[in-house]
Amino acid sequence: MAVGADGSSAGAGEGRTHTAVWRIYPGEVVTTLSELNFDNRFTEQLPGDPVDLNRPRQVHQAAFSRVQPTATTAPRLLAHSPEVLDMLGLDPAVAATDEFLQVFSGNATIDAMDPHAACYGGHQFGNWAGQLGDGRAITLGEIVTGAGERHMLQLKGAGPTPYSRTADGLAVLRSSVREFLCSEAMHHLGVPTTRALSLATTGDQVMRDMFYDGRPGLEPGAVVCRVAPSFIRFGSFELARSRDDLDLLRQLADHTITTHFPELGDPSPEVYTAWFAEVARRTADMIVHWQRVGFVHGVMNTDNMSIHGLTIDYGPYGWLEDYDPGWTPNTTDAQHKRYRHGAQPHIGQWNLTQLANAIYPLVEDVEPLQAALEVYVNRFNDEWGAMMAAKLGIAAPDPERDQPLIGDLLDLLPKTEVDMTLFFRSLADVAVSEGDAEPSDEMLLAPLLGAYYDPILLTGDVRVETLAWLRRYRERIAAESRADADRKAAMDQVNPIYVLRNYLAQLAIDDAEKGDPALVNELLDVLRNPYTEQPGRERFSEKRPDWARTRAGCSMLSCSS
């Protein structure tokens, strides 16, 4: 169905219509999507695909191709984010309108929108892949809110584009639930991320081979509307450079700087370098947060790296259950584990090096780009040390003293199966300042036992090492003379109790596939406050159950969605 300018609906076979657009003044609340202030600078300032043909092909000398979303049969809104509505300046009641459903399921557009799919390339698992592009994502347009914030609205799973290659451009419900929930969960955890406005089913069936075993099956289709300042990636610049299209390369860089980094000044070789340094800094901050909460992206290809330093493209991601820096959630990466949790900092640097190579023709000097790349290394090291000190409740970090303590803990944790989230959360309950008597071994371990998957296995050398580390930890904390309650309050602000555990997401998917979105919405609500204990919701902070160890969707995932 399509929404008419008067709010009426038309059948999908009658074609897509457009609603009128009105401009709003700063500070006003938008009560209909038609009032959004569209400012499509990306498509206005950059060259578009001169060929109006929506079929898979190579697109040259263009940053995007204009394309319309594919209409859906029977869309249904499963969930939306009130926080993103507010960020966009939309009245909460807008989400209940038919206009909202039709637009964000791909059945309608607004006159002021300029739907398009971006053209970019990328390195995938370390190998140059050439042109990739938005194969199943269609950006509806850019808005500027009354607060002056710029946001792109993009539908993921909205149908084929010239970059779909052999795929259909659609998305299934399971991957869409995961993207919707994780986008919002990461935001509330304080991790830089793209956002998700809405999740809708389409009423259509999509064929997928989830396990790549030659046995595809039909699954319910879905569309997520995701939101970001832009969806420009490292690979956007890489593709232009790989084709020696220096005009497009410069246009992309100039647009990026003047639109999203205007504080750096007018584009010039020095400003290009300053911009790259800023991208490096933001990327470092993002990955430090990933490591803090135990998030593993799973597909850190350069086409999945945002120039804003935002987590983007939630594919086969995962959360560390037991602490294992060698774990990757991606079945495609199971053998080499390039994108394992412990390798993410290094991969961030490798990806930035590819971006530096791409923009070199704009700078024509290696040394300033190398110096800017060092910004990543220095920023990551400084912020990682500060982050780990905060997780341990150290108020005044002393790197020389703290690094051995941190390093020994991270070497110790993988020696037995211990839940990362619960271990750090429970560490705040280890008493330090209460009383002068040395606690017994049992008293010292008691607050942490719930974090171990099988406490009985905490024996032998591992038990001895754990106790020795805990006594060193108590000594370090005691040196700061801080009350336990104050330390716990500080630690609880950086160590979440609720994360989007893989099995919880799968349970929500199971229910949603049966037509019940209640768990999706409850998880969305729980994850709004990941650092605060929520009575009655203890089940959302429990360790991974045994049945979830090997079940599809609860451990590793494929890129098929």
DSSP 3: E
Residue 166: how many other CB atoms lie within 10 Å: 6
Pair type for strands 109-110 and 18-19: parallel
**Residue 48 bridge partners (DSSP):** 64
- Chain centroid offset of residue 112 CA: 28
CB 66 within 8 A of CB 116: yes
Question: What residue spans of 338-398 are helical by DSSP H?
Answer: 344-363, 366-392
Torsion over CA: 160, 164, 165, 171 (sign): negative
Query: What 3-state DSSP class applies to 295?
Result: strand
Concatenated DSSP letters of 191-256: --B-EEEEEEEEEEEEEE-TTSSS--EEEEEEEEEEEES---BHHHHHHHHHTT-HHHHHHHHHHH
Catalytic residue (choose from 134, 303, 313, 324)? 303
Joined together, the tokens standing for residue 205 give 């069936």
Measured between alpha carbons, how far is 403 from 389 in angstroms, rounded to an integer? Answer: 9
Concatenated DSSP letters of 284-352: HHHHHHHHHHTEE-S---GGG-BTTS-B---SS-EE-SB--TT--SBGGGTTT-TT-GGGHHHHHHHHH
CA dihedral 269, 354, 157, 226 (to 10 degrees): -50
Measured between alpha carbons, how far is 392 from 295 in angstroms, rounded to an integer? Answer: 18
Cβ-Cβ contacts under 8 Å for 261 (sequence gap 6 or more): 275, 278
Catalytic annotation present for 441: no
DSSP 263: G
- Chain centroid offset of residue 376 CA: 19
- Chain centroid offset of residue 435 CA: 44
With CA atoms as reference, report the closest residue to 483 among 531, 435, 533, 423: 435
The residues carrying an active-site annotation are: 303
